[in-house]
Structure 1
Amino acid sequence: MAITVAALYRFARFAEPATLRAPLLSLCEDAGIKGTLILAREGINGTIAGSTEGIASVLDHLRALPGCADLDVKFSEAATMPFGRLKVRLKREIVTMGEPDIDPLASVGTYVAPHDWNALISDPETIVIDTRNDYEVAVGTFANAINPQTRSFREFPTWFRAERERLLGSGKAPKVAMFCTGGIRCEKSTAFLKAEGVEDVYHLKGGILRYLEDVPAAQSLWQGECFVFDERVALGHGLTEGEHSLCKSCGRAVAVGECCPCAND
């Protein structure tokens, strides 16, 4: 029987996230769930896998938390369990940018539905930025998207501040469209750009995963596969398991039948 995988997040205000950990951990253990969930004052983020019933019970619990009724969830399937264990972690941020004053609940860019995304990024006046890390972009991205070549999301603010004049200088006020795997990084990125004074900012609602789920391959502007942080490595259109594996030497994602570049390092 196929394993249900749920990628989820929600920016919310948790006054005492530490008090939420034990009940959530216990519920996941009882339901046979594996994967990672991150709790912080700014909300919850993670990907979990298990039986359909087990996943449903955890999601019901999460939606009952303060501010989480509209929890963002993307479902996919795996032939075998894609995680080795369960982790429920407490952190300062549910996705680490290192900019403590950024609050997506206070100000964020405009959400763009997957079926409207192609028109936005095809506009020559739109700057399209992939907010993911370089090793993720190498597996797949949207046509003509800028790759900041970051190694972690924490590097994104430094990259933008260094490149701002080149991107937005000379009095230009282009639209900026950003995307990420499931929506959380691009949501925080748009909040960051708004705080930096950039007004015309957009992000892909539900991220790449929702786009690959909703937009047929024949109409898609996506090139390649989408890297995911589990043993499936990458997903294609329809959120089917992709054609990549992790190099056992360096950990990079490599297409099936290809040699990893580390062999030449």
Structure 2
Amino acid sequence: MQEAVSNIAGYRFVELPDRDELREPFRLQCQKSGLKGTILLSHEGINFFLAGSQDGIDQYIDFLEEDERFSNMALKYSYTNYQPFNRMNVRLKKEIISMGMDNVKPAERTGEEITPQEFKQWLDEGKEVAVLDTRNDYEIRLGTFENAIDLDIKSFRAFPKAIQSLPEEMKDTPVVMFCTGGIRCEKASVVLMDAGFSNVKQLQGGILGYFEQVGGAHWNGDCFVFDHRVAVGPDLKQSDVVQCFACRQPLTVEEQQSSDYVIEVSCPHCIDSR
């Protein structure tokens, strides 16, 4: 049996005035450690998805710990029997998650975190809470929390405008925001607070952190992930979802049975455009 490949993901909003100078040390470390994946460096922080041997991952973590700005970072681990990335990229970006609003600075303030355990307890008890999904429409189509609010957005940049449609009375209701790993809802929480929402919380560790800590309670479906696995279930194992070669939309098992799905040609989401 092929040895498991260790996958790691992490991010942190932190001011990096030396962003450009950091690129080469990160590239060399990943090359030395035999890692593949992507590291995004921005003046607002760092975001990365990497895979390789456990020893290589450990070396990378030791490298992070040498800089106090990256020490004790919350990391997410998973394992595959193949390398999910084709190459190693270290990219310089304006934002580590694109929203296009220069005045939004998560390094300075964000909504409070709520742990997966506490969030599950709230849902178990039927506590009055607005559960807000900050992800894109194609992700939500695969799965989301029970009764979650879907903003029907195609990209994160649409989030600030989309929240204008939320009811005014929701501004005084506890709001728990969530996304895949936490980075989007951390940034989005600033926008929500600036819009006058008084009790904004973000799910610690996102959906994947929730799966890891409490399983799939109150969740329906799978969770889209941004690598070759396409989607994982509450057990954090790769699901049967695939991606259309033509339009890159994720396809459920049911959609794969459609006559519109022809491998490398079309799927129910793009057949009419061909």
TM-score normalised per structure 2: 0.89
Q: 1 CA distance for matches of 2:35 and 2:68?
A: 22
User: Which stretch of the first structure deviates more once superposed, 193-202 or 2-11?
Assistant: 193-202
2:67 to 57, 65, 71: 65
- Corresponding residue for 1:16? 18
Q: May I ask how many residue pairs the two structures share in their alignment?
A: 259
Q: 1 CA distance for matches of 2:225 and 2:85?
A: 12
Paired letter, 1:148: L
- Corresponding residue for 1:134? 137
How do 1:233-244 and structure 2 match up within 5 A? 233-244=230-241
Q: 2 CA distance for matches of 1:49 and 1:14?
A: 24
How do 1:17-96 and structure 2 match up within 5 A? 17-96=19-98
User: Which stretch of the first structure deviates more once superposed, 67-76 or 55-64?
Assistant: 55-64
Question: Matched residue of 2:149: which SS?
Answer: coil
State the 1:44 CA deviation.
0.4
Q: 2 CA distance for matches of 1:124 and 1:115?
A: 14
Contact 2:171 2:198 in 1 (8 A): no
1:172–1:13 Cα change, 3 Å: closer
Q: 2 CA distance for matches of 1:213 and 1:264?
A: 37
Whether 1:226 and 2:233 are equivalent positions in the alignment is: no
State the 1:8 CA deviation.
0.7
- Identity score, percent: 40
How do 1:191-206 and structure 2 match up within 5 A? 191-206=190-205
State the 1:154 CA deviation.
0.8
2:247 to 250, 256, 259: 250
Structure 2's unaligned 5+ residue stretches are: 259-266
- Corresponding residue for 2:264? none
Q: Which has the higher contact order (CA 8 A, sep 6+)?
A: 1
- Corresponding residue for 1:168? 168
Cα RMSD for the two superposed structures: 1.7
- Cα deviations across residues 201-234 of structure 1 (Å, max 9, x unaligned)? 01110000111111134xx111111100100101
State the 1:124 CA deviation.
5.5
1:176–1:106 Cα change, 3 Å: same
Structure 1's unaligned 5+ residue stretches are: none
- Cα deviations across residues 177-202 of structure 1 (Å, max 9, x unaligned)? 10000011011111221222222001
Q: 2 CA distance for matches of 1:258 and 1:31?
A: 41
Q: 1 CA distance for matches of 2:35 and 2:186?
A: 27
Q: 2 CA distance for matches of 1:238 and 1:213?
A: 8
Contact 2:182 2:206 in 1 (8 A): yes
1:172–1:160 Cα change, 3 Å: closer
1:252–1:30 Cα change, 3 Å: same
User: Which stretch of the first structure deviates more once superposed, 86-95 or 115-124?
Assistant: 115-124
- Corresponding residue for 2:104? 102
Paired letter, 1:188: K
Paired letter, 1:187: E
Contact 2:37 2:49 in 1 (8 A): yes
TM-score normalised per structure 1: 0.92
How do 1:144-155 and structure 2 match up within 5 A? 144-155=147-158
Paired letter, 2:156: F
Q: 2 CA distance for matches of 1:69 and 1:224?
A: 34
User: Which stretch of the first structure deviates more once superposed, 148-157 or 66-75?
Assistant: 66-75
Q: 2 CA distance for matches of 1:172 and 1:91?
A: 33
1:63–1:96 Cα change, 3 Å: farther
Contact 1:40 1:91 in 2 (8 A): yes
Paired letter, 2:200: V
Paired letter, 1:223: N
Q: 1 CA distance for matches of 2:160 and 2:13?
A: 19
